Amino acid sequence: MIKRATRSQAKRLGDGALTIANAGWEAMGTALRSALTRTIRVAITGLSRAGKTVFTTNLIHSLLLAPARPHLLSFLEAVANGKLKDARIHSIEGMKKFPYEENLERLTRPAPEWPQATEELAGVRIEIRYRPANEAVARAIGWATLNIEIVDYPGEWLLDLPLLQMGFAEWSHGVLDLCAAGTRRKLAAPWLARMSEIDPDRPYGRASDLASDILSVSRAYHAFLQECRKEENGLKLLQPGRFLTGFEGSDAPPEKFLFSPLPTDGLAAAKSRKRPSPDTLRGQMERRFERYKREIVVPFYRRSFRHFHRQLVLVDVLTALNTGFESFYDTREALLRVMESFKFGRGSLLGSLFSGQWGRRIDRVFFAATKADHVTRTNHANLERLLEAMVGRKAEEIRSEGAQAGFGSVAAVNTTKNVLIDHEGAPLAVLEGILMNGPRVKRTYYPGDIPADLPTADYWLNNRFKVLAFAPPDLSKAAEEGIPPVRLGDALQFLIGDKLP
Amino acid sequence: MSEDLKASPPAPGLVEGPLWTGATAIVPAELPAPADTPRTRARPRRGRWFWGSALAFLAAVVLYDTASFLAAAWATNPILGGAFIVLFAMVLISAVVWIRGELREIRKLRRAEFDHDLALRIMEANQYGHALPFIEKLLPSLPVATSVRDRFMASVFDTHSDRDVFRLFGRIVLEPLDRQAYAFVNRAARDSAVGVAASPVAALDAAIALWRSLRMIRQVAGVYGFRPGMPGTFILGRRLLLGTALVATTDIVGNIWAEHLGSRLAGVLSTKLAEGVFAAVRVARLGLLAMELCRPLSFGKEDEPSLNRLRKEIVSAIMRL
């Protein structure tokens, strides 16, 4: 009996010791695992209609399906070598959740539709669990975690960035310079006419007169911006960007933020001029301009751009090329202006915005020409080269700052198939897909070839290229099977591949 | 650069037409030649004449002898003669079957070299639509599971260029095969090291290394779907030895390393063990060359196994002895 008692006591002691040992081991594992958990913030940037929302949706979807369907991201190393275990999504604190499920539902309907354009800031955190490359570590903890935070926002807001480096006079001068020629001149006529009726430097007696004049001129400018934005005009360099996407759901900006650029008499004189007095139109516009920057632009970028590590810039080269000479070069100019602000560590306000208090900088930028599925596959290389020609100068600057810049032609959803058809006895490389705004049957379309370098004005005169919009293919099984993209894995590999095995 | 032959393409727009069923415009043979010139083997014609005629003479003598022996046996005793004739017939038939099989394997090996050239051409041209038919032709002869085959076919999209398709093929289908072959080479190298180090007679060293090498070559060839018998292995071995001869003359670094290692090892180990290491490294180099030869595609930069890594593994294995 004594023996039995001591034996049971010994057993309990042994069990207790084992429990403590297990707990200790688990605690060590948890500590090690959390030490190896990293967060990386990727900014998906792009002008309006570049395809950011669809791209983000399929990025999330492909990562979630990656363990079961590795063929969607074949060139993401961690998927190819089987080290990616699984992925989950969560919302980011203090930010609206990116509508991934709603967007996916729209795409997988019997009559699929593209997701709605982004109208406000939304974010998502993708938690990826993977098996570490180091065998010893992998045996100790099993898996490590990488969090990818992505923020989606309207592309128009990007164009407010350059405002931070300009004063009201400089900005006004720039806008009116652009309106001197081309489509803008035609569209700006009503607004310019309204402004010619008023002397911006005349002091006003009554405040109500001043207020009504401010509103009438600003509304005319707002109307002008909305005209420029229309598809047939295809102009992208439109500031302030927030005027176009509205403020948190409403159609037009609230009155207190409305303003308009005013004519200046030469840039040098304007810059040297003293601050105009508050009872003139110019004075009020300038104060509104500064207030817009202070209350809208700065907080927004502090909130969403400050701590980004990696950047993905989506550019819709094809639509710009398709619309015309003015649209193409306007898009290019808008892009260059936006990237003008992506300078790191220069000591300016923007520098501190991007480098953050702890000196974090954007160390990798991937420029992606979207909708690559709208040209035949032999044109993908040209598409990349065209994008490189558009932004090459800036890419060089980025590289000289010590960051890496990559280029690629991608498509969030591959809506077409490359086929060879018999056309008048010879083979012709065409695209097969379902056209937008038509019956859901497959048609074959020949888009032509695109140039590999920046086209001159006469390229559009004898145009051998025309892009046609395709609708999403049959994606009814996409929830389990995935949505085939074009080179999504390559883009991800450049952006986050070094953080994964 | 375009896939089609259209000299003057039509204006952009909707086009209708049946699928093109003819050959694709650009025939692989017309693709640009690969950057590296293939190894040229100068075969002296005179030598072949001598060996050919000598063998024919020998064969004729043997056949004459056999014929006269069989005739004598038949004359002496029809039953005994009949038995001998039947035996001889069996020998003849089995010899024909065996030779036919061997010739088939040899032809496969010869075609492997042509495939490497073609693959290199396709890779350098980097167009569309040529890599997949090439791979589909050789896929049935590779000993891979159906799941691997399916996974590869699912991964290839029409937007992947030829180089992309080869990359996917290397990663999904060839990488597991390479790992198997590498394991065989590793084991063979280690066995040679032990064998050579443990052999009491110096002349036995060469025999051990040779036997183990031949076995390794046969194993490596088997990984990639070849099943060469003795003659096939012999031919493969000969081609490999030529390869090593070329490599040896250009592998200056390897020679320096060998000398350095020799002096170091001689201080730490006995000369016998050092010799074992040398033999193992030579066998390893042969093994890697065999892998390259039997592989459907030559190694790319990223999937080439490192000889240096193999050397280090061998040395550490020896040190552990």
Nearest CA in chain B to A435: B14
Higher pLDDT: B253 or A412? It is A412
Query: Does residue B246 carry a pLDDT above 60?
Result: no
Residue in A380, A426, A449 nearest the CB of B5 = A426
Residue from B157, B162, B178 whose CB has the most chain A CBs within 10 Å, to mutate:
B157
* Closest residue on chain A to B158 (Cα): A418
**Block residue for tokens 């390479």:** B178
Backbone torsions φ then ψ of A42, nearest 5 degrees: -110, 125
Please write the tens of the pLDDT for every residue from B182-191: 999 989 988 8
Those residues whose C-beta lies under 8 Å from the C-beta of residue A202, and which sit 6 or more positions away, are A280, A281
- The secondary structure element, H or E, covering residue A110 is none
Mean pLDDT of B191-210: 79
Strand, coil or helix: what is A488? helix
Question: Which member of B3, B21, B159 has the closest CB to residue A429?
Answer: B3
Gap between the Cα atoms of B241 and B248, Å rounded: 10
β-pairing, A144-152 with A38-46?
parallel
Q: Do B9 and A446 touch (CB under 8 A)?
A: yes
Peptide bond into A501 cis (omega under 30): no
What tokens appear for B302 in the block? 């990223």
Residues 6+ apart with CB under 8 A from B4: A420, A426, A427, A428, A429, B25
pLDDT digits (tens, 9 = 90+) for B163-183: 999 999 998 999 899 999 999
B158/A378 touch (CB, cutoff 8 Å), yes or no? no
Chain B: nearest CA to A372, how far in angstroms?
9
Q: Which residues of A touch B5 (CB under 8 A)?
A: 426-427
Q: For residue A496, how many other CB atoms are within 10 A of its CB?
A: 20
Q: Is A378 in contact with B3 (Cβ distance < 8 A)?
A: yes
Nearest CB to B155 within list A71, A428, A445: A71
ipTM: 0.80
Nearest to B168 among A74, A380, A423 (CB): A74
Give this prediction's pTM. Answer: 0.81
Contacts 24+ apart (CB under 8 A), B114-120: B115/B296, B115/B297, B116/B297, B116/B298, B117/B34, B117/B38, B118/B28, B119/B166, B119/B296, B119/B297, B119/B298, B120/B34, B120/B36, B120/B298
* DSSP for residue B306: P
B218 membership: H or E segment, kind and range: helix B202-223
B172: which chain A residues are within 8 Å (Cβ-Cβ)?
80
Taking an 8 Å cut-off on Cβ atoms, the answer to whether B9 and A449 are in contact is yes
Separation between Cα atoms, residue A245 and residue A120, nearest integer Å: 8
Strands across the sheet containing A122-130: A84-90, A122-130, A144-152, A38-46, A310-315, A364-369, A404-409
Q: Which chain B residue shows the shortest CA-CA distance from A418?
A: B158
Contact criterion met (CB < 8 Å) for B159 and A414: yes
Asked whether the predicted pLDDT for residue A176 surpasses 80, the reply is yes
pLDDT band at A345 (very low <50, low <70, confident <90, very high): very low
3-state secondary structure of A129: strand
Q: What is the DSSP string of B16-83?
A: --PBP-S--SS-GGGSPPPSSPPPP----HHHHHHHHHHHHHHHHHHHHHHHHHHHHHHHH-HHHHHH
Task: Give the pLDDT mean for A312-335.
Answer: 91
- Interchain CB distance below 8 Å, B157 and A484: yes
**What is the Cα–Cα distance from B169 to B153, expressed in whole angstroms?**
9
Could you say which of B18, B154, B164 has the minimum Cβ distance to residue A71?
B154
Dihedral sign for Cα atoms in the order B82, B84, B85, B86 = positive
Q: How far apart are CA B226 and CA A279, in angstroms?
A: 92
pLDDT tens digits for range A99-147: 999 999 999 998 899 998 888 888 999 999 999 988 888 888 888 999 9
